[in-house]
Amino acid sequence: MRTFVEWLTQPEVLGLISLVSLALAVGSLVLLPLVVSRLPQDYFTREGPSFRRRLRSEGFCGAVVLVAKNLLGLVLAGFGFAMIVLPGQGLLTLLVATVLLDFPGKHRFERRLVAQVGVKRALDRIRQRFGRPPFDAPKRSDEPSSGH
């Protein structure tokens, strides 16, 4: 039985890893700007309805779309984690995955990620290329609440 390292260093496996890495990098460069440019300007500052509430109100077709959107989000999350060590835009792909996924604490996580100066700047540059206004700045978690 071969060890994992022996298997991993075979030319066919290395070629496949390289091909997948290239596909992830190209895919993120194409899909990421499209998703980021289509999000509403206030996406990171507004509260949205919960997944359960949306599932109940959307009907069958809406439920199918929500499930498909979450499956795509899971795939992108896997690619995003892979791109942290492989070529590609790992953090931005993870951000797009969180936009698509529905999970508890989602909005808090997104706001913390977008509060990173480099991430917000990169997102706003993408939006600028598409003629879209920059995202509204998310409120930092250490700022006092306005009481609403």
Express each pLDDT in 110-128 by its tens digit: 888 888 888 889 999 999 9
Which amino acid, 64? V
Within its chain, how far is the Cα of 51 from the centroid? 17
Give me the number of domains the chain comprises: 1
Query: Which one, of 43, 30, 25, 36, lies nearest residue 126 by Cα?
Result: 36
Any residues with CB less than 8 A from the CB of 79 and at least 6 apart, and which? 24, 27, 28, 88, 93, 97
Domain containing residue 120: 12-39+48-129
Q: In the predicted model, what is the mean pLDDT of the chain?
A: 79
Mean pLDDT within 86-96:
75
CB atoms within 10 A of CB 133: 9
* The predicted structure's pLDDT at residue 118: 87
Structural domain includes residue 146: no
**Is residue 94 a contact partner of residue 81, using CB atoms and an 8 Å limit?**
yes
pTM summary value: 0.58
Of 19-23, 26-30, 68-72, which one has max mean pLDDT? 68-72
pLDDT in tens, 33-52: 888 899 889 888 887 666 66
**135 lies in a domain?**
no
How far is Cα 80 from Cα 148, in angstroms, rounded to an integer? 35
pLDDT band at 1 (very low <50, low <70, confident <90, very high): low
